[in-house]
Structure 1
Amino acid sequence: MGQKINPLGFRLGTTQNHHSFWFAQPKNYSEGLQEDKKIRNCIKNYIQKNRKKGSNRKMESDSSSEVITHSSYRKKDSGSSSEVITHIEIQKEIDTIHAIIHIGFPNLLKKKGTIEELEKDLQKEVNSINQRLNIAIEKVKEPYREPNILAEYIAFQLKNRVSFRKAMKKAIELTKKADIRGVKVKIAGRLAGKEIARAECIKKGRLPLQTIRAKIDYCCYPIRTIYGVLGVKIWIFVDEE
């Protein structure tokens, strides 16, 4: 039988890098690991909360206006679905904790006072008295090359009752804007509300999963729908070293 392994962990140290950089004694390692998880969860929850507030304000302003064109509504939908974090890098020093947020479209975090507010929330969550928190934002150069952004896009489309096949094909079309060599999208669960769960898959280009020198980005994303939880997996073959 085939032994399945996470493509990111399989290539760690060759084409993939660690997302946390710090040193700790063996007895303090678990505390540092839990602290990293708290920081990442706090940042993600803060961005999700602000996205919901922004979408509610847009809905209120839209309801006050008389006519809304279909094209403008689609633009708002695509923008709200694309503001997602690709990954968070954490670098710990003796007196400072650096959190670098890699995001596709950093419109939310560019507003005044958001970084300061986020730093205060993190300080309360982590309870680090002796360490100072420093947050930096880094925009992803090619957002549609990141599997997390594509998975978020598919999730947004499925929650809006779009056909899963149409959402998968549209996500693969978006990858044409990025310089990649192959992509594979897989959705499993109660697709289209059917009683029997199944899996559907679309692949385009090459995807050498067994080649370690091949840089492959991977993401597993759960989607909560009215029919139940769907699972989305995306593999992107970026380049071969």
Structure 2
Amino acid sequence: MGQKINPLGFRLGTTQNHHSFWFAQPKIYSEGLQEDKKIRNCIKNYIQKNRKKGSNRKIESDSSSEVITHNRKMDSGSSSEVITRIEIQKEIDTIHVIIHIGFPNLLKKKGAIEELEKDLQKEVNSVNQRLNIAIEKVKEPYRQPNILAEYIAFQLKNRVSFRKAMKKAIELTKKADIRGVKVKIAGRLAGKEIARAECIKKGRLPLQTIRAKIDYCCYPIRTIYGVLGVKIWIFVDEE
């Protein structure tokens, strides 16, 4: 029986870094973990909520069918506005939150950061600590597995064939400087009664090599046939 391990946890401390940097006493360590989870969930919910509002306003403001179809195509690009990583650094009086995002168009609007800070302050409920939010754009968006998984999810929800969606996602990685990629989808594919798994691989993927920098994500997709699971491995480089 094969023994599976998360590629990110397997390389933690060598090619992968921690997403949270802080120290706490053992008694209050669990409270710090719950606080980190609240911060990450609040940021993701804020982006999803504002993305839906923006798409609804576009469709309501336009009357012609041609403009509506054009806006839906534009929403496919905005659906790639995915958070790749959220880093949290805690000090005595400050909580630094660094959001790594592929296409930060939504968070660049006026008042977006201030509104997000207010929502986070309500979730954290810390009077003595102030929040400092920074936005960093990812240099190569299609090098991130989270963005590719969101792209596949958007295609599947629009009734695109899963094989076509997987091939398009691999084609997007040609724009990025990577050595290999693997995409796997499992579940009731194409609405079949029996669940199965399909996989497409291109290039090298040395999962057993610790010095190999591999990005990985596991992303659930909710469809009318049930939940599909998408796993993406990207072999970036070897140290």
User: TM-score normalized by structure 2?
Assistant: 0.97
Shift of 1:163: 0.4
Shift of 1:57: 1.1
Q: Select between 61-70 and 158-167 the one with higher mean Cα deviation.
A: 61-70
Deviations 1:172-207 (A, max 9, x none): 000000000000000000000001000000000000
Whole-Å Cα distance in 2 between the matches of residues 83 and 97 of structure 1?
Answer: 24
Taking a change above 3 Å as real, the CA distance of residues 67 and 113 of structure 1, as seen in their structure-2 partners, is closer
Answer yes or no: is the 8 Å Cα contact 2:55–2:75 preserved in 1: no
Q: Provide the C-alpha distance between the structure 1 equivalents of 2:116 and 2:210, rounded to a whole number of angstroms.
A: 38
Q: Distance in 2 between matches of 1:83 and 1:181?
A: 24
Can you list the C-alpha shifts for 1:20-56, whole angstroms capped at 9, x where unaligned? Answer: 0001011111000000000000000000000000111
Question: More displaced, 76-85 or 125-134?
Answer: 76-85
1:51 aligns to what?
51
Percent sequence identity over matched residues? 97
Q: Deviations over 1:44-91 (max 9, x none)?
A: 000000000011112213445665666xxx641331221010010000
SS at match of 2:63: helix
> Does the 8 Å CA contact 2:156/2:162 hold for their aligned counterparts?
yes
Aligned residues: 238
Task: Identify unmatched segments of 5+ residues in structure 1.
Answer: none
User: Following TM superposition, by how much is the alpha carbon of 1:127 offset from its aligned partner in structure 2, in angstroms?
Assistant: 0.3
CA contact (8 A) 2:102 2:147 kept: yes
Whether contact under 8 Å (1:55, 1:80) holds in the other structure is no
Following TM superposition, the consecutive aligned residue runs of length 4 or more in structure 1 with deviations greater than 4 angstroms are 64-70
Determine the C-alpha separation between the residues in 2 that align with 1:164 and 1:199: 11
Local SS of the residue matching 1:167: helix
The residue aligned with 1:114 is: 112
2-structure distance, mates of 1:68, 1:119: 33
Aligned mates of 1:210, 1:230 — CA distance in 2: 27
| Contact 2:59/2:68, CA 8 A, preserved across alignment | no
* Structure 2 alignment gaps of length 5 or more: none
Matches of 1:45 and 1:131 in 2, distance apart? 22
Q: Residues 69 and 37 from structure 1, CA distance in 2 versus in 1: closer, same or farther, beyond 3 angstroms?
A: closer
Instruction: Measure the CA separation in 1 of the matches of 2:73 and 2:221.
Output: 22
Output the CA distance in 1 between the equivalents of 2:53 and 2:65: 19
Shift of 1:145: 0.2
Q: Tell me what 2:122 maps to.
A: 124
Relative to structure 2, which stretch is displaced further, 79-88 or 138-147? 79-88
